[in-house]
């Protein structure tokens, strides 16, 4: 029986998620409803993607009894309210990253999911790519010895996009781009909390961070460094350095299709989309969607690959980085 999806938002990311689902067997995944803030947008989206039901409010979607899981694709500041809406309605939820604006909100969402006995996962899609699976396997086997250093970069010129630079829209390099680097580091170090975080950067006049550089010290003298920026194009690669070798993602570290292990490169191509994508390599969202399906079939309430503890650690680290750089959102007050 297919997992029946409802979409909360009819924006660009929901478009790509829907296209990604279409690369999976129709007997496994079906989008049955979409909701937007106005009915016209929802109907236009539904017509484009062949979805049977369109709603002009998120509340209507929450009341739909024919939905197994809701994909939340609204912008960051609305993650808390929408996640609470659906968890309280006993709906399973896959919510776009970051799960919320700060640790306090993340704890509230996690508590609601637990109280209402529903599945919840932060949609850190990179975790589920075949390359990420392979990296975890290599590290578990000690393929590069003891990891001593991790470095990641993600910088793209986004100054022209209001969502990226406006504080009230949840803008800023860290929550939009840096989260990819941070989650990668957390994955490599197996969810270990760093002993020390040192962050520096600067903010735009709007009060959000433009560029941030972070150094993290872990136990046994292991380090990680990442840079994120809304201003400039960075190499956008990632590297894991061990005592016996090196693992490298040479490009697109947030949605990788190529992996270099001790100098040998392997390609991991993604399925071709049935419609033009809004963002690069978005058919890779198929992997997180399939993870949700497998968890639901097993009756799980969280994924072991991107667990509630993982989401909480990310939020706590993001809060500390923002504190050091001087980024304060209204949700923090």
Q: What is the pLDDT of residue 68?
A: 98
Q: CATH number, domain at 168?
A: 3.30.360.10
* H or E stretch covering 309: helix 308-325
Give the count of domains, the chain. Answer: 2
Omega prior to 98 cis, within 30 of 0: yes
Q: What is the pLDDT of residue 172?
A: 98
Q: What is the pLDDT of residue 182?
A: 98
Same domain, 93 and 153: no
Q: 24-57 burial by CB neighbour count: b if 16+ within 10 A, else e?
A: beeeebbbbbbbbeeeebbbebbeebebebbbbe
Q: CATH number, domain at 36?
A: 3.40.50.720
Tokens coding 154: 């993600």
Q: What is the pLDDT of residue 195?
A: 98
Q: What is the pLDDT of residue 218?
A: 98
Q: Which of 125, 154, 175 delimits the end of a domain?
A: 125
236 DSSP 8-state letter: -
Identify the segments of the chain with pLDDT beneath 70.
Answer: none
> Is residue 258 in some structural domain?
yes
Specify whether the backbone of 104 is left (phi greater than 0), alpha (psi in -120 to 50) or beta: alpha
> Is residue 87 in some structural domain?
yes
Judging by DSSP bridges, how do beta strands 209-218 and 92-96 pair with one another? unpaired
Tokens coding 7: 């979409």
pTM: 0.98
CA 28 vs. chain centroid, Å, equals 22
Domain that holds residue 180: 130-267+307-332
Q: 1-14 burial by CB neighbour count: b if 16+ within 10 A, else e?
A: eebebbbbbbbebb
């Amino acid at each position: 029986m297919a997992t029946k999806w409802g979409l909360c938002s009819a924006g660009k990311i929901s478009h790509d998620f829907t296209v990604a689902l279409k690369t999976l067997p129709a007997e496994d995944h079906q989008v049955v409803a979409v909701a937007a803030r106005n009915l016209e947008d929802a109907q236009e989206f539904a017509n484009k993607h062949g979805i049977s039901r369109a709603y002009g409010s998120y509340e209507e979607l929450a009341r739909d009894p024919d939905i197994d899981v809701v994909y939340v694709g609204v912008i960051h500041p609305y993650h808390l309210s929408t996640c609470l809406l659906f968890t309280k309605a006993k709906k399973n939820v896959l919510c776009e990253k970051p799960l919320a604006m700060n640790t306090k909100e993340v704890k509230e969402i996690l508590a609601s999911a637990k109280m209402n006995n529903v599945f919840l996962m932060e949609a850190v899609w990179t975790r589920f790519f075949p390359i990420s699976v392979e990296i975890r396997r290599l590290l578990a086997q000690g393929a590069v010895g003891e990891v001593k250093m991790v470095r990641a970069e993600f910088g793209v010129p986004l100054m022209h996009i209001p969502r990226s630079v406006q504080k009230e829209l949840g803008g800023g390099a860290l929550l939009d781009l840096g989260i990819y680097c941070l989650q990668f580091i957390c994955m490599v170090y197996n969810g270990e909390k760093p002993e020390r975080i040192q962050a520096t950067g600067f903010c735009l006049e709007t009060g959000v961070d433009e560029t941030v550089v972070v150094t993290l010290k872990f136990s046994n003298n292991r380090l990680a460094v990442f840079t994120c920026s809304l201003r400039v194009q960075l190499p956008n690669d990632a590297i894991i350095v061990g005592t016996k070798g090196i693992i490298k993602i040479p490009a697109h570290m947030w949605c990788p299709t190529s992996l270099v292990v001790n100098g040998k490169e392997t390609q991991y191509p993604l399925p071709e989309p049935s419609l033009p994508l809004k963002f690069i390599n978005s058919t890779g969202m198929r992997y997180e969607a399939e993870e949700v399906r497998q968890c639901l079939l097993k009756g799980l309430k969280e994924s072991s690959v991107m667990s509630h503890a993982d989401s909480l650690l990310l939020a706590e680290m993001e809060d500390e980085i923002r504190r050091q750089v001087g980024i304060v959102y209204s949700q923090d007050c």
